[in-house]
Structure 1
Amino acid sequence: MELDDQQAAARAWFEALRDRICAEFVAIEREAGSDAGFDYIAWDRVDPSGLPGGGGVRGVMKGRVFEKVGVNVSTVGGTFEGDFAKTIHGAADNPQFFATGISLVAHMANPHVPAVHMNCRFLVTAKRWFGGGADLNPPLPIAADTADFHATLQAACDPHDPGYYPRFKQWADDYFYIPHRQVHRGVGGIFFDHLENGFDADFAFTRAVGEAFLDAYPRIVRRRMHEPFTAADTAAMHAWRGRYAEFNLVYDRGTLFGLKTGGNIDAILMSLPPVATWD
C-alpha cells in the first residue's frame, strides 16, 4: 500500500507516540517492582476486494500496575462496503479509504488509578481529516485527578483555538454517555472528529493532544498506584467496568469501524476489561 507524504507523516508519528507511551508504561511497572512488558503481535488486513489492505501491530501488557493495557497502531486502506460508506465522512460518493492511527485503553489493578482511553487518527476518503481525543474513566473518581487531566488537555487545546476545549469537552460528554443507563462512561476529556482546517494545522493539534496525554496520564498513575484499597473498592471497580464494556460493545463508533472494515478482532476488542461484573 503506497502512502503519500501526509499519510506517511501521520503514520510515522502515531508509531513514534506508541513507542514513547509503551516505554513510559513499562517504566511505571519497573517502579512497582514488576518485570512486565508489552507483547507485540503484527497483523495484516485483506480488503474485501482481495487486495492488500495494510495492517498494524497490537501491543498488550498485563502487569502489577496495568492489569491490562492495549496500544494499537494500524494503517489500513481499501473500500467501504455497501451502506456503511454512507456513514463515513466523505465516503458516500467515493468508498475508497485510507486510515492510520493509534488507539489505547488501560485498565488498572488499583481501583484508585483511573482507567483511560486515547486515540488519534487520520482518515482519507473524498476528504481528509483528523479525529481523536482522550478521556479519563475512574471507577472511584478523585476530583484532583479529573481537574489535572482536563487542565492539561485545555493547555494543549488553547494555543490552537480557544474554542477547541469547551467544544471538544462537550463533544466528549455527549459521546461517552450510556443512554440505557443514563450515566456517563467516565469523567470526560475531549473528543473531536472531522477536523478539516488544513493538514499542517490539524496535525499539529493532534500531536498536541497526544503529548498532553503522555504528560497527564503517567503523572496521575504514579500519584495513585500505591494507595491502599479494599475488597469493596475492587468490587466497585468490576461493576463499573461492566458499564464500560456495555458502551464499547453497543455505542462505540471505533469498535464498529474496526469490525466493518475487516480489522483485527483481538485489537478491536482489546478495549474490554479483563474482569467485569453485572451483579
Structure 2
Amino acid sequence: MFAALYGEFAPHAWHDPESEHDAYQLFLQRSLAMGWLDDRAGAAQEAASERRTIVAPGLWAMNDAGWSHPLAAPASKLISWFQVEASEVASDRPLPVQPFLRCAQDTTERIGVVQLDAVQVLLPVQGVDASTRPAYAVVPSMQTPEWFGECDPRSRASVRIRIDSGRTPSVPAIASQLTRHLSRLEQDVFVGAADDQIPLDSFPTPPFDDRFWDGPPTHGIVLSGELAEWSCDAIGWLAETVADSAAHLGIQSSLLFTVTRT
C-alpha cells in the first residue's frame, strides 16, 4: 500500500528538519507501538539465536516514507507519503487501510499542524480474495460503520472520490455495478453517486513511477457525496469498502483511490 497526504502543513517551531526522527522512523515506531507492524522477517533472525520465538503477524511490513518525494508534481501540496507491504488479509478482515492512514496522519502530526486537503491510497485489491469472505463479512468493513454513528452531524464533509485502474479500463467497465453495490450497503459513512461532470485530471497526480502499478491513471470514475467526517478514519473505512466491493466485481489489480474535500 502507498499513501500520500496533501494540503497545508506548518511544522512545529521546535522541530529540527535535520532530525534523525524522520518520516520513516516515526512511522515505524508508531506502527510497532500500536501492534500494526509485521516484523516476522526480522524476528526470524532473532529466533535463530533463541532471543524471541512468539511473534505477532501485524498488518504491514515497513518499506519507505518521506516528507517529500522527487516524483511529486510541484504544485501538488504533498505533505508526506508512506509505503508498506500489506500482510496477507484474513478472510473476515478488510485491507488495513484505516489503521494505515491513521498511522500516516499520526506520524505527520507528530512534527507539525496539518490541514488536509486530499488523501491518496494505492489499494492492492489483488490481495483480496472475495471467494473466501464468510457470510457475516462479505464486505468486512461493514462490521464497523457504527464507529461513525456518534459523529456530530455538522462534521459531514462534501468530498470527491476518484477510483482509477490505470491503463486497464477495468473500473469504467464495472462503474455502474460498483456504484450500485456501494449504494445498497446499509451505511451512511459515505452517501453519494457517480459524477460525470468532474474531470479525472482535477485530482492530484500520484507521486510514484507508473511502473509501480499499472499507471498512469487514465481509466477511472468519480463519485461525489458526503463523508461522515473529514478524517483519515472515514477515508480509510471507505477505501476498505471500495476495495472489497471491487474485488467482488472481479477486479484483481491495484486501484488508485483519491479523496479530495470540496
| TM-score of the two chains, using structure 2 as the length reference | 0.36
Q: Give the structure, 1 or 2, with the largest relative contact order (CA under 8 Å, sep 6 or more).
A: 2
TM-score by length of 1: 0.34
* Greater helix share, structure number: 1
